[in-house]
Structure 1
């Protein structure tokens, strides 16, 4: 407890320029103000951030008036929910009126009612570790629901009955999985039981809100914890059914690995390789591709007469399933294309054998990967989960060789921007034709020659173009 007190004191001192000044402004106007939720929880965990959430007895219009002249900028997109936001120097601040909200059983949007007490406001929050507050400017800690004890025990529990909490806002079931993944905490048995019994209630929540929680979960430090909870409670069947579908029944001779466990291991190994990416992660596209890379296996599994198991074309089928699921979850077209491309290409490396690919095959690999090449490197390396050390080392050496060849060819030929040796204007001039379909066909032919043979001189490219044109006449 002493360590927690020291951590909180240090964090409150750090953010004193905001909480002390703002607390006095609200107190002088006759209103209560308290730092609340994540910032309080993270202060107790010794974590720092500059996004500060407050709750207040003031109504939104009163809050806005008090922020004028103090903040650098104000925004009110959350006014309907009682929230006014502002920026002060490097701090991002959101202040929300005490409230209680609940969902109509058939509605996706909450009804918002303003409350009158801090304790009442804290009681409507999702978990006890997020239901703690620090009154300002006096810095009095309020913990009516035992959040400090649960924080010490690293457990997620609701302030009241979990059934009431999840009925009020079903998205809190997804948030339980997300916070488990973010904090590395366990979830109280009664909360798991309520999630399991009420999983179908998630269907009233919009796809966009479910997507946002899923992204936060997958980009968290411990995504396996959150994903396993979604599968265990049946929520995954409703929000990401391709994941529990990977729990294939094992054939009696165990001739194929546990695809579900393999997938979670690939995800964790992909996370370990994120340092290769600009910025170092977390990278949602790489992680989600790792999670979805084998989702085509359930539909393509076949048992042969000799007892072996095959999953032919699971890469192509998996890419289609991935695209369909991401569209349903309202992901952007760019994200859908990037993840689906990685799923479809994740087996390409295995045609490399022990290095038999020609330079043209390496060029095609780079061209087809496009701007996803580094993520494809990560996914391919992460996809090796064999316990056979000799086999694992051999795969790693082979992929090292492929990457070295890519680097060597890239240095010589600028592989990432492969283009024909003649552009469209030159093609039209040489052939004496105007814009049209034939220019595109000529361009494609020259691109194939470029990939197959490497760079050509302008004279050789001209001769090759004229020979192709002559053969068409």
Structure 2
């Protein structure tokens, strides 16, 4: 166990809420230490809204100590030795020192309380998360496994052997990739080797837990690096096999461009276009937009390669993968629709679109249109400067046409000029399938010709009804 030469108060400023808790524990003779991510983040100058603590007090005793200090407490994690408390503006979780043993088949820990801070820190995932600061008066900085030095070097190591750590909880391998993305660290050689050797064990982890880690990885500042770790280690073969499969595909021009590398570049370029913070839907769409290519690859005479309808196949694959990862229906629908639509623009490049085609583009994208703009622009990764400029100019023109139509009509609410009630009144019919068919017919006329006005819409409706009613 080592103490920092610098003042711990300077290294890790302690919030008043932490000191209030520390005073409460010290008053009854118990230890309390700020541990894990909050210590690491403070050393990196990153804010933290939640605080994690470790103590020698057992859960029932923790509750007795914190109730006079906290505005609220919760015990959802008490079976694992954790008590939650709202202290001022901060959410705090206080856990009894642990010395767990893991069932290597189910990964479920057998909760065993420990008797020392150092033993508790050893069971944590990485050394930079195995540091602590006492908040019971002396502000002792505890770093038994060299976490501060690893943090300074930007290297991810485990307190014990990585094989032991990952066998205890294989999700830690995915968390390592996430930290590469979010913290900008690199993997120690022994950690990278263990991940490659043990990647298959990630299959023991529930989809919900995998999803949380993948989302955090994608929302990090360097998701490309995190994804590269997943692919290089073999972890992606277990949780996202569509991504490494792209290394075998070729592009539409028979140049055998690495579609995997293209995908990572599209992700980088999409991130550059974000204007309101990290966008999980856009980033997933960038990662998955070409996953239909391996399944649709066709070799033609003369060395040409095609991927006809890869956007259709890719949309189905994206939906299946995101559902398997237990994402919400909204995210599944939005990402798969972006994948489905991402090639539509290329038809605009090769032919003059009518106003109705532009309306359909807007209608089909709906509220996803701003994201679709970003995805399509990001999908241009050609090094041919002339081609790149041509693509950008063509999309500029499309956006200008959308803006022009929007100025003249309500593109955000593409509805027929007559609603269902007006249709029933005009035709003298009750609610039923015929009303739906009439509504769809008027909607198609609205898209094709723009606003008709009620009189012309009524005339068109009656003509349609005479022919089809």
- Aligned counterpart for 2:375 among listed residues 373, 379, 384: 379
Q: CA deviation at 1:355?
A: 7.1
1:412/1:345 Cα in 2 relative to 1: closer, same or farther (>3 Å)?
A: same
Alignment match, 1:194: 194
Name the CA shift for 1:4/1:303 in 2 (closer, same or farther; >3 Å).
farther
What SS does the corresponding residue of 2:363 show, helix, strand or coil? Answer: helix
What does 1:77-116 align with in structure 2 at a 5 Å threshold?
Answer: 77-116=76-115
Q: Is the 8 A contact 1:11 1:48 kept in 2?
A: no
Q: 2:297 aligns with which of 288, 295, 301?
A: 301
User: 1:171-191 CA deviation, whole Å, 9 max, x = no partner?
Assistant: 101011011111111100100
Quick check: 1:296–1:317 contact (8 Å CA) kept in 2? Answer: yes
Two-structure CA RMSD over aligned residues (Å): 1.8
From 353, 356, 361, the equivalent of 2:357 is: 361
The question of whether the paired residues in 1 share the 8 Å contact of 2:32 and 2:134 is answered with yes
What CA distance in whole angstroms lies between the structure 2 residues aligned with 1:246 and 1:220? 22
Partner residue, 1:161: 161
Query: Aligned residue for 2:33?
Result: 34
| Shift in Å, 1:108 | 4.5
- In the alignment, which residue of structure 1 is the partner of 2:260? 260
Deviation at 1:159, TM superposition (A): 0.5
Give 1:342-353 correspondences, 5 Å limit: 342-353=338-349
Count of aligned residue pairs for this structure pair: 464
Aligned partner of 2:415 in structure 1 is 419
- Other-structure match for 1:226: 226
SS state at 1:411 partner: helix
Secondary structure of the 2:226 match is helix
Cα separation, partners in 2 of 1:249 and 1:358, compared to 1, 3 Å: closer
Deviates more, 1:438-447 or 1:55-64: 55-64
8 Å Cα contact 1:178/1:216 also seen in 2: yes
Question: Which residue matches 1:174?
Answer: 174
Q: Which residue in the other structure is 1:128 paired with?
A: 127
1:119–1:391 distance in 2 versus 1, CA, 3 Å: same
Q: Return the TM-score normalized by structure 1.
A: 0.95
> CA separation of 1:192/1:34 partners in 2, compared to 1, >3 Å: closer, same or farther?
same
- Is residue 102–residue 111 contact of structure 1 (8 Å, CA) maintained in 2? yes
Residue 335 of structure 1: CA displacement?
A: 1.0
Counterpart CA distance in 2 for 1:180 and 1:53 is 22
Q: More deviation in 60-69 or 235-244?
A: 60-69
Query: Is the 8 Å Cα contact of residues 254 and 304 (structure 2) preserved in structure 1?
Result: no
Q: Does 1:149 align with 2:145?
A: no
Asked whether the equivalents of residues 34 and 54 of structure 1 are also in contact (C-alpha less than 8 Å), the reply is: yes
Q: Which runs of 5+ in 1 are unaligned?
A: none
In the superposition, the TM-score normalised over structure 2's length comes to: 0.95
How far is 1:9 from its partner? 3.4
Q: How does 1:371-410 map to 2 (within 5 A)?
A: 371-410=367-406
TM-superposed deviation, 1:69 = 2.1
The equivalent residue for 1:440 is 436
Structure 1 residue 391, shift from structure 2 partner: 1.3
Q: How far is 1:80 from its partner?
A: 1.7
- Residue range with higher mean Cα deviation, 185-194 or 66-75: 66-75
For residues 115-155 of structure 1, give each alpha carbon's deviation from its aligned partner in whole angstroms, at most 9, with x where no partner exists.
Answer: 11110110000010110010113211100000111011100
Contact 1:102 1:169 survives alignment (8 Å): no
Aligned partners of 2:20 and 2:69 also within 8 Å = no
Aligned match of 1:210: 210
Query: How far has the Cα of 1:306 moved from its partner?
Result: 1.1
> Equivalents in 1 of 2:308, 2:437: separation in Å?
33
